[in-house]
Amino acid sequence: MANQADTTPQSGDNRPALALHVPEPRSRPGDPVNFADVVVGKAGDQPRPDESTKPEDMKDLAYDLVRVLGDDNKAHGPWDPKLDPDTLRTMLGHMAMVRAFDERMFRGQRQGKTSFYMKCTGEEATSVAASMALASDDMVFPSYRQQGILIARGYPLIEMINQIYSNKGDKLLGRQLPIMYSSREHSFFSISGNLATQTPQAVGWAMASAIKGDSRIAATWVGEGSTAEGDFHSACTFATVYNAPVILNVINNQWAISSFSGFAGGERTTFAARALGYGIAGLRVDGNDALACFAAQQWAANRARANQGPSLIEYFTYRAEGHSTSDDPSGYRSAQEREEWPLGDPVMRLKNHLIEIGEWDEERQTVMDLKCAEEVKATTKEAEKNGILGHGMHHPFHTMFEDVFEELPWHLKEQAEQATRERITKFGSERPYE
């Protein structure tokens, strides 16, 4: 066998030593906040290309930041979707409901009523506004922070809470981690805890829709950290090769659990720019601007329906709260970041826009917020009648063996019968808390 070449630098070798780069966030706990590298252009300055434009002819939009709402709270430029006041109020109402729902469920987890929850504070526009730009029967493949889609589509709050509590009213029979909803009736694909698996699923569904000559498109949501997963890149390849009618929404909220976006490649370029290497149309959008979120999603949906191919949209936003109830962001980022984030709060910005155009006021906002909080509170109390974590009223034990096979194999039938007998012997019932 031939000897391998010795690559150890020899004495007197004047070649420079290699150095490994490890990404570092802008600031750590105790450091002053530094968002100096976040370039926020003037609202309305970004051109809106025709939906049939080739990706290479609109590449600047993968690096810029599409914005509609300016500092004056007015809508500007060609991306203004020109939504009527009633639609804007509906959008604001959905976002307010999401925030009220998050607050109540977060408190429920702290009270031990459920094991887990994830808030989307600061990211409401990326799900509510974006989903409102789709048809109600377009199939969505969400990640775990898109509860706003279900709320915007009218999914009953009590069904969401039952699933979070894993009680006897949970239609998923306690088989999913809390917040991993599913609703065929609302074209909402089952959420998975495995990162980025929803992206090739969305592309595959879109391809099937095209094969059948259907009119429905698919849209998926994924965090910027998850774009480092192989599934995401496989999805991009299939989407561009087969011209799939799909929208790949990347929520860049700056933090993937405790790792900042640089570990997923955010230091080198934008996440929207990843689209260009695949020949996909890429947009980078102000994710805290509800009108820009709606407009970008609408543009991409029109493009997909016209058989012009897939789009990748980066929503540049900020995760104001922890990654989940299991996370403490004070351990890895400055406590002042939330207040100093340069793109503000999406709910406040939409509210201020409605006030600016004379279609809203602070009094009505207060009434809306209170009404949302009261509705969530009343619905939570109703859901708690079906049980909460560790307090019985769960599904019968034998159901854990069901709904996997069309007909249960003989060996699983034997296991199910044995397990049920042992449980009854131990507890006197399949349900030990009854």
Instruction: List the CATH number of the domain containing 367.
Output: 3.40.50.970
Per-residue pLDDT band at 9 (split at 50, 70, 90) = low
Residue 363 counted as domain residue: yes
Per-residue pLDDT band at 88 (split at 50, 70, 90) = very high
Of all residues in the chain, the percent with pLDDT exceeding 90 is 84
Position 127 scores a pLDDT of: 98
Which token pair is 328?
A: 């403490």
Residue 84 counted as domain residue: yes
Range of the domain at 145: 55-324+342-384
Query: How are beta strands 311-316 and 246-252 bridged, if at all?
Result: parallel
Per-residue pLDDT band at 433 (split at 50, 70, 90) = very low
Residue 183 CB contacts under 8 Å (≥ 6 apart), including other chains: 150, 155, 159
Weakest mean pLDDT among 24-38, 112-126, 304-318? 24-38
Residue 8 counted as domain residue: no
Residue 286 counted as domain residue: yes
- Quick one: average pLDDT of 29-57? 95
**Residue 7 pLDDT exceeds 70:** no
**Closest Cα partner for 61 from 38, 75, 73, 79?**
79
Q: How far is Cα 121 from Cα 106, in angstroms, rounded to an integer?
A: 11
Weakest mean pLDDT among 30-34, 48-52, 197-201, 280-284? 30-34
Residue 278 CB contacts under 8 Å (≥ 6 apart), including other chains: 236, 237, 239, 240
Do the Cβ atoms of 219 and 251 come closer than 8 Å? no
Phi and psi at residue 49, to the nearest 5°: -75, 165
Q: Tell me how many domains the chain contains.
A: 2
- Do 316 and 402 share a domain, yes or no? no
Residue 267 counted as domain residue: yes
- Do 380 and 401 share a domain, yes or no? no
Q: How far is Cα 216 from Cα 304, in angstroms, rounded to an integer?
A: 9
**Residue 248 pLDDT exceeds 50:** yes
Position 427 scores a pLDDT of: 80
- Do 88 and 191 share a domain, yes or no? yes
- Do 257 and 403 share a domain, yes or no? no
Q: For residue 140, what is the enclosing H or E element?
A: strand 139-141
Residue 86 counted as domain residue: yes
**Residue 219 pLDDT exceeds 90:** yes
Buried b / exposed e over 22-61, threshold 16 CB at 10 Å, is eeebbbeeeeebebeeeeeeebbebebbebeeebeebbeb
- Do 164 and 185 share a domain, yes or no? yes
Residue 254 CB contacts under 8 Å (≥ 6 apart), including other chains: 224, 260, 261, 317, 318, 319
- Do 318 and 211 share a domain, yes or no? yes
Residue 265 counted as domain residue: yes
**Residue 3 pLDDT exceeds 60:** no
More confident residue, 433 or 133: 133
Q: pLDDT by residue (tens digit) across 371-421?
A: 999 999 999 999 999 999 877 667 777 788 888 899 999 999 999 899 888
- Quick one: average pLDDT of 330-350? 94
pTM score > 0.85 for this model? yes
- Do 346 and 423 share a domain, yes or no? no
Query: How are beta strands 255-256 and 259-260 bridged, if at all?
Result: antiparallel
